[in-house]
Homo-oligomer: A and B are copies of this chain.
Amino acid sequence: MDDPSFTIFPIGYIKRINNEVYIEILEKFIPALKQLEHFSHVQVLWWADKVDNEKSRERLDCIPPYGENPPNTGVFATRAEYRPNPIALTTVKILEIHHKDGRVRIQNIDALDETPVIDLKAYFPVCDRVKEPHIPEWIVGWPEWLPEEGLGL
């Protein structure tokens, strides 16, 4: 086995304060936020630290806890947090950016307070918006769009 490994680190953390949700960017990375306020949405890559353990990282399939009679499903066909590399991806609506403090106020996210954030990527329709996606029959009937209120806990 000569496959390499790679090292990543937090660029910030999720903060939940008084019913508001923020991404607090570490000071040295604040310049990377420039112009992000011109986008309505951003993709948040976050480290699912609760499942960063050997057992969770070896889990390759599951019965999804949703849908109509879901079959046994590989984790790459789910959004489960447990997966070989426990990186989660949530698209969130940007409400406000304080560049001075490195705070991005967002509408919601399905990550706990203090979750490490490892990347932000502006939502580009040309990259991320699929016109006619096809999904499995066990989840047909789900919304066709990210809900207005976002995805939360």
Q: Which of B4, B126, B143 contacts A145 (CB 8 A)?
A: B126
Q: Are A118 and B35 neighbours in the complex by a CB distance under 8 Å?
A: no
The answer to whether A35 and B87 have CB atoms under 8 Å apart is: no
A91 touches B33 (CB 8 A): no
Find the residue from A4, A76, A91, A147 having the highest chain B CB count within 10 A.
A76
Q: A6, A7, A31, A119 — which one has the most chain B CB atoms within 10 A of its CB?
A: A6
Complex interface: chain B residues within 8 A of A85 (CB):
8-9, 11, 45, 118-119
A17-57: which residues lie under 8 A (CB-CB) from chain B?
26, 29, 31-36, 38-43, 45, 47, 52
Q: Do residues B6 and A136 form an inter-chain contact, with CB atoms below 8 A?
A: no
Please name the 3 residue pairs, one residue from A and one from B, whose CB atoms are nearest each other, closest first. Answer: A38-B136, A34-B74, A40-B134
Q: List 21 A-B contacts (CB under 8 A).
A: A4-B10, A4-B116, A5-B8, A31-B60, A32-B60, A33-B77, A34-B61, A35-B71, A35-B77, A36-B76, A36-B77, A38-B77, A42-B76, A79-B121, A79-B127, A87-B119, A125-B135, A125-B143, A126-B144, A129-B130, A131-B145
